[in-house]
Amino acid sequence: MLAMVKPFKGQKYHELKQACLREHRLFEDPEFLAGNESLFFSRRLPGPVEWKRPKDICDNPHLFVGGISSHDLHQGKLGNCWFVAACSCLALQECLWKKVIPKAKEQDWDCRRPEKHAGIFHFRFWSFGDWTDVVIDDRLPTINGELIFCHSNVPNEFWSALLEKAYAKLVGCYEALDGGNTADAMTDFTGAVSESIDLRKGNYGKFLLEQTKLFEDLLKAHDRGGLISCSILPDMANERQGTTEQGLVRGHAYSVTDIRKLRLGGRLLAFFKAEKLFMIRMRNPWGKREWNGPWSDSSDEWHRVSEVEKKNMGLSVTDDGEFWMAFDDWCNNFTDVDICRNLNTSIFSIHKTWEKATVRGAWLHDEDPLINRAGGCFNNRATFLQNPQYVFNINKEEDKVLISLQQRDRRPYRKDGRGENYIIGFEIFRVELNREYRLHRLQVQERVVGSTYIDSRTVFLRTILKKGRYVIIPTLFQPGDISEFILKLFTDVPSELRELTLDKPEPWCGSFLCGYPQRVTQLSVHSVEGLDRQNGSRSANPYLIIKCGRESVRSPVQKETFDAVFDTQAIFYRKNLKDPIVVQVWNKKLLCDQFLGQVTLVGEPGDSRELRTLQLRDKGAPDAPPVTGHLSLKVVSTDNLMEL
């Protein structure tokens, strides 16, 4: 990992620390000055701010006191509950926080060797696809000797305050942390994929089956080291940070600190009755203000739980901001949940593994439509296909696909008034099985699924795709806007994700001998009907072979049917116009596949582009004897190689 970490602003922690130790001085960061410009750019200071080092705030400062805990954090005078909630989640996973706070013991103060402390720390964040090492000095903003931003409930513990400062440096200043999405911070702590779920849209509070599926999904994510947070969207802007009758704060991020199935009653009674309750535990980053409904800290419901079980759950009746809820109450009170998943891509695992493909791209504007890559969303039909295009394959009969589109973080531009996220999204089209060039016409492609369009840093989609070839087109909502993005695709088997860069075949030195395409023909085979029931067979396993010249395309096999729906496409850039297009129907058999019939097409530009039903014929010329069965298809031919 060390070889892949990039130093932020070129600052290398070990070199800077050694220089300070040699010169017997404490580090002062020239890239993030201890001044007002590092605090706010549009707000007034909350009072006379003085930057102090931890050794000037308390005696015997440390990064951790009694270990790291989700209880260590308290939000300060900044609207960054989203960040503090993510830090609470991070503290629960040792393998994750050790990446963010590298070699914490070596960085810590050593009271026995104070001369080894140089007032310098470093933290690591996953910044737009790269682990980035951020160096800071340990001067922290205070008022009347007290920290004004994130702090611990233990006076001499400083990991949370220093981590917050490093993150503020990464995005420009402290004010840039005001308001945000917990999923973004969780992604920056892990490099993992974040998914946002709208609990109202999914009706999880009403449908028990969907609620159970969600609980099992969250439980699995939590058990495998994922980070989870939740919030309540206010109905109106003036309700932000208003409190519900049962003590929950609207417009406020909570960290999920535990999920479990609770046994009710004594151990013996619970064993025989198998009575279990789905439970979820959360923490308010304020360190106070808890849920006061059923299963709150001192509610009567806890009398149904054994003392041993209470101890195992870590039940506390103090107002520390952490509380339990029944999962159905949680679904009915919260509106949004963010899940940061550590998707398993290791081949050495007993758990489900994913094949991951990642590409970087950019939406770049140019007046030339052949070069322009900022065409806007699908509503802009004239320019939409000018966006970047990526092709991938689904190589199973059916595959679960996870797609994440992330734009570059806009927070560093907030000082310049350009810090708002762009609205982003993507569309997926099913295309020809042999598509190798960019799409140029929407009317001949099947739009399969698309993401929501939202002004979020990351857009996520989970879907099921059938076997075939697809093109995904990531876009900004407005044409002409420019930005960078990272596209991640997770499938069961490798997808061969790659960008389509060429508009048509390129001429090469041998073109004058071998020829250059003069026509492009797209073939869409819808179905075959009434195949020959030879030898009394009860069913067939038909598939297609589509040929043109030396190129051929084979469709997936349709099992046990004489009337198969293929919806298969192929495209051919034709050098010799005398070569016809032949569509053959074959029957997949154990030893030797059986030919069932074919159709032969000329593919002229003037031919009908409507759906046609053609008689299957034997091998040979177009007028070969007919055989049982009909093929339904569309053919589109044009001498403009950039029309399809």
**DSSP letters of 535-581?**
GG-S---EEEEEEETTEEEEPPPPPS-SSEEEEEEEEEEES-TTSPE
Residues 416 and 171 sit within 8 Å (Cβ to Cβ): no
Please state, in angstroms and rounded to a whole number, the distance separating the CA atoms of residues 331 and 102.
37
Question: Residue 157 corresponds to which amino acid?
Answer: E
Structure confidence at residue 451 (pLDDT): 95
Residue 81 appears among annotated catalytic residues:
yes
Residues 280 and 330 sit within 8 Å (Cβ to Cβ): yes
Q: Is the dihedral of CA 533, 539, 541, 544 positive or negative?
A: positive
**CATH class held by domain 355-499:** mainly beta
Query: Which tokens sit at 329?
Result: 């109450």
Structure confidence at residue 428 (pLDDT): 97
The DSSP annotation for 285-313 comes to TTS-----STT-TT-GGGGGB-HHHHHHH
Residues 332 and 248 sit within 8 Å (Cβ to Cβ): no
Question: Residue 522 corresponds to which amino acid?
Answer: Q
Q: List the beta bridge partners of residue 635.
A: 523
Please state, in angstroms and rounded to a whole number, the distance separating the CA atoms of residues 313 and 263.
11
Query: Which tokens sit at 355?
Result: 């094949």
Among 260, 250, 341, 346, which residue's Cα sits nearest to residue 295? Answer: 260
Residues 63 and 163 sit within 8 Å (Cβ to Cβ): no
Helix orientation angle between 182-190 and 81-91, rounded to the nearest 10 degrees: 40
Residues 394 and 482 sit within 8 Å (Cβ to Cβ): no
Residue 250, φ and ψ in degrees, nearest 5 = -75, 150
Structure confidence at residue 591 (pLDDT): 87
Q: Which uninterrupted H or E stretch holds 166?
A: helix 159-171
Residue 331 appears among annotated catalytic residues:
no
Residues 50 and 132 sit within 8 Å (Cβ to Cβ): no
At residue 209, the 3 state secondary structure works out as helix
Question: Residue 433 corresponds to which amino acid?
Answer: L
Please state, in angstroms and rounded to a whole number, the distance separating the CA atoms of residues 373 and 603.
32
Distances (CA, A) of 402 to 85, 357, 451: 25, 11, 11
Answer whether CATH 3.40.50.410 is correct for domain 193-341: no
Q: Beta strand pairing status for 253-263 and 355-363?
A: unpaired
Among 454, 503, 440, 448, which residue's Cα sits nearest to residue 470? Answer: 448
SS (H, E, C) 35-87: CHHHCCCCCCCCCCCEEECHHHHCCCCECCCCCCCHHHEECCCCCCHHHHHHH
Q: List the beta bridge partners of residue 151.
A: 74
Among 143, 144, 124, 122, which residue's Cα sits nearest to residue 132? Answer: 124
Q: Which uninterrupted H or E stretch holds 601?
A: strand 594-601
At residue 590, the 3 state secondary structure works out as coil
Structure confidence at residue 390 (pLDDT): 98
Structure confidence at residue 551 (pLDDT): 93
Active-site residue, from 252, 340, 393, 548: 252
Please state, in angstroms and rounded to a whole number, the distance separating the CA atoms of residues 635 and 608.
7
Among 102, 170, 109, 159, which residue's Cα sits nearest to residue 134? Answer: 170
Running along the chain, 644 residues long, what does each successive block of 10 average in pLDDT?
81 96 96 95 89 94 89 86 91 92 93 88 95 97 94 92 97 93 94 92 86 93 91 71 86 91 63 71 86 88 82 73 92 94 74 89 95 96 97 94 95 89 97 96 90 94 95 97 96 95 84 78 94 75 94 93 92 92 93 92 91 93 90 95 92
Q: Which uninterrupted H or E stretch holds 97?
A: helix 94-100
Question: Residue 143 corresponds to which amino acid?
Answer: I
Active-site residue, from 80, 181, 284, 587: 284
The correct CATH number of 517-638 out of 1.10.599.10, 2.60.40.150, 3.30.530.20, 3.40.50.720 is 2.60.40.150
Residues, the chain, total? Answer: 644
Find the distance separating the first CA and the last CA of the chain, reported in whole Å.
45
At residue 267, the 3 state secondary structure works out as helix
Sequence-distant (≥ 6) Cβ neighbours of residue 174 within 8 angstroms: 38, 39, 40, 78, 141, 149, 164, 168
Please state, in angstroms and rounded to a whole number, the distance separating the CA atoms of residues 357 and 497.
6
Distances (CA, A) of 277 to 55, 81, 261, 272, 273: 48, 29, 6, 15, 12
- Give the residue extent of every domain in the chain: 2-185, 193-341, 355-499, 517-638
Give me the helices (H) in 454-565, please.
511-514
Residue 284 appears among annotated catalytic residues:
yes
Structure confidence at residue 124 (pLDDT): 97
Active-site residue, from 81, 173, 230, 548: 81
